[in-house]
Amino acid sequence: MFSHLLPEFLVERRSDRCIKCRVCERQCPNGVHHYDTELDLMFSDESPCVGCQRCVVFCPTNALSVYPHPTTYRPNASWTREKLQDLKKQAETGGVILTGSGNDKPYRIYWDHLVLNASQVTNPSIDPLREPMELRTYLGRKPDTLEVEVCGDKVSITSRLSPNVPVETPILFSAMSYGAISYQAFVSLAMAAKEFGTLFNTGEGGLPREMREKFGQNAIVQCASGRFGVDPEYLNSAAVVEIKIGQGAKPGIGGHLPGEKVAANIALTRMIPEGTDALSPAPQHDIYSIEDLSMLIYALKEATNYEKPVSVKIAAVHNVAAIASGIVRAGADIVAIDGLRGGTGAAPKAIRDNVGIPIELALAAVDRRLREEGIRHKCSIIAASGVRCSADVIKAIALGADAVYIGSAALVAMGCTLCQKCYTGKCAWGICTQDPYLTRRLNPEIASQRLVNLLRGWSHEIKEMLGGMGINAIESLRGNREHLRGVGLEGWELDVLGVKGAGE
């Protein structure tokens, strides 16, 4: 069928600069660039271009520019170019439109409508370069009371404590499975988490055996609906075990890793035959209710001898607060909430762009509900989706999170440009692909250094902001709405966030 689609990007080559080195041709996995040996000229076919900017970055003479294609339909506020293109695509294929990374629609980003406080006069601000400033956070269930025995000068704790896991900064790497991302990208996340003293999340694709000893203590291992790679050694090698119920980018639906990506090592890690599709069902088929969840939580605790916190990750949906409360009562030590802008390797676009609620509102609602029920201390809350900078992290903590997960931000640090073509398996940056020609591009030594730099930079900024507020330990900001004010928000939104308007 002849395609009616317009190209998405325009590739412009300045012939006065091009030296025909063919770097762009080698770098592009989509076949945009082509060298004609007879004419000794470089040509471009822009129609397959995804705008990932790999060729632009690698062109040694800055001869290339890639930008959104100026060709448009008659402008129409309702029937936008994107809507028309999607519609035509479906008319040509009859399929579900797939996409990658997070929701890119202009839903209100509450982070950008919240401002932070700082000390003036009545309370000194603290300079983190001169005074200690503490970001260490313990994830897990805290006791109602601590029983102690005092014997002269000696105080000893007699309460039984639940396991808690420390992180040196309240920033964790979100679940991205080996299979969805390349081995190199996966190892880079693990290396960075280990170096900085935080955690990475294996996603549902298992933890390769050779990584367990070295990186297990920095791993959150997932037990998801497909149960890929779950065995006792996997669970016991980790710091935290996470039950994945849902994902912000695609609440209510499962996953599908196509067989062509299931190479030998992925097959071994996931414990499935090589070349078979790895299908994750939409629900966990042994969890159709909250009591079923409780049974799985305790099954995992039994399997790990009650030595590891168990986390439950859910997508932020309409009644997220009640669900989170049920999860804590079911025995979870950590509740991870993934909001509307959470990323994905592949999801139906209709779901990614339309299902779920923003994390800021979900987080505030969950924190409030758990406090009202007197169980907030029984779990840690990890907030995920659309955390783009240190200010987003600190605002999330003031709204009640113990820590945040970053996924997209970590990928961007490694090279990702959010071209949203993760599902094609042709990531030019070597992140979201299993093609050895492409994955070789990602050097884990360098990529992990970029990730560590990111964590370091953000942590410094968080310390500066905390110090400005006159706080020298992150736990004193947790849920502390007094340090937030809303700008440009409506009354109901401020109510849900529990935040006053600026000047109030």
Partner 1 sequence: MRSQISERYLPEKDSQACGLFGVMNTTGERFGGEMAINAMINMKVRGNGLGGGFAIYGLYPEYKDYYALHIMFERHQLGAKEIVDEFLADHFHVVYDEEIPTNKKATVLNPPVVWRYFVSPRQYMEEGNNLSDDEFVVEKVMYINTRIDGAYVFSSGKDMGVFKGVGFPEEIADYFMLDRLYKGYIWTAHSRFPTNTPGWWGGAHPFSILDWTVVHNGEISSYGTNRRYLEMFGYYCTLYTDTEVMAYAVDLLMRRQGLPIEVVSRIFAAPMWDIIEHMEPERRELYKTLRMAYAPLLMNGPFTVIVAHHNEMFGLTDRIRLRPITAAAAGDFVFLSSEEASIRAVAPRLDLAWTPPGGEPVVARLHTKDHLASLARAV
Instruction: Determine how β-strand 164-167 pairs with β-strand 64-68.
Output: unpaired
Name the minimum Å distance from CB 19 to partner 1: 54
Closer CB to partner 1, 170 or 407, in the complex = 170
Q: Are strands 137-140 and 154-157 parallel, antiparallel or unpaired?
A: unpaired
Task: Say if residues 114 and 484 touch (Cβ distance below 8 Å).
Answer: yes
Judged by CB under 8 A, which of 132, 232, 273, 503 binds partner 1? 132
Q: Report in angstroms how near the CB of residue 382 gets to partner 1 at its nearest.
A: 16
Q: What are phi and psi of 324, to 5 degrees?
A: -65, -40
Residue 414: how many other CB atoms lie within 10 Å: 23
**Binding of partner 1 at residue 282 (CB under 8 A)?**
no
Question: Do the annotations mark residue 223 as ligand-binding?
Answer: no
Per the annotation, does 422 bind a ligand? Answer: no
Token match 């080559």: residue? 13
Nearer to partner 1, 275 or 498 (CB): 498
What residues does 405 pair with on adjacent strands?
Answer: 172, 384
Question: What residues contact 96, with CB distance under 8 A and at least 6 apart?
Answer: 348, 349, 350
Interaction between residue 500 and partner 1 (CB under 8 A) = yes
**Nearest residue to 178 (alpha-carbon basis) of 432, 461, 7:** 432
From 174, 227, 232, select the one nearest 202 (Cα to Cα). Answer: 174
Residue 52 labelled as part of a binding site:
yes
**For residues 135 and 474, is the Cβ–Cβ distance under 8 A?**
yes
> In this structure, what token pair is assigned to residue 456?
């370091």
Among 256, 371, 388, 450, binds partner 1 (CB under 8 A): 371
Q: Report how many residues bind partner 1 under the rule CB under 8 A.
A: 52
Instruction: Select 259 or 470, whichever has its Cβ closest to partner 1.
Output: 470
| Residue 379 annotated as part of some ligand binding site | no
| Contact status: 129 vs partner 1 (CB under 8 A) | no
Nearer to partner 1, 124 or 281 (CB): 124
* 499 lies in the binding site for partner 1 (CB under 8 A): yes
List helix spans (H) across 415-443.
Answer: 436-439
Residue 219 CA to residue 175 CA, distance in Å, equals 10
Residue from 403, 501, 473 nearest 198 by CA: 403
Q: Is 21 annotated as a binding residue?
A: yes
Has 59 been labeled as part of a binding site?
Answer: yes
Window 92-121: residues binding partner 1 (CB under 8 A): 119, 121
Report CA-CA distances (Å) from 259 to 131, 279, 284, 355.
Answer: 54, 10, 21, 27
- Residue from 70, 75, 273, 374 binding partner 1 (CB under 8 A): 374
Stretch that binds partner 1, among 80-88, 217-225, 271-279, 466-474 (CB under 8 A): 466-474
What is the pattern of x (binds partner 1, CB under 8 A) and - over residues 137-166? -x---xx-xx-x-x----xxx---x--x--
Tell me whether residue 24 is annotated as binding.
Answer: yes
The answer to whether residue 479 forms part of the interface with partner 1 (CB under 8 A) is yes
Residue of 349, 368, 421, 426 that binds partner 1 (CB under 8 A) = 368
Q: Does 464 bind partner 1 (CB under 8 A)?
A: no
SS (H, E, C) 12-46: EECCCCCCCCCHHHHHCCCCCEEEECCCCEEEECC
- CB-hemisphere CA count at 13 Å for 254? 15
Backbone angles phi, psi at 112, to 5 degrees: -80, 0
Residue number, 87 or 157, with CB nearest to partner 1: 157
Which of 376, 395, 441, 463 is the binder for partner 1 (CB under 8 A)? 376
308 binds partner 1 (CB under 8 A): no
49 is in an annotated binding site: yes
Binding-site sequence positions: 18, 21, 24, 28, 49, 52, 55, 59
Binding-site sequence positions for [4Fe-4S] cluster: 18, 21, 24, 28, 49, 52, 55, 59
Residues that bind partner 1 (CB under 8 A): 119, 121-124, 126, 131-132, 134, 136, 138, 142-143, 145-146, 148, 150, 155-157, 161, 164, 368, 371-372, 374-377, 469-473, 475-483, 494-501, 504
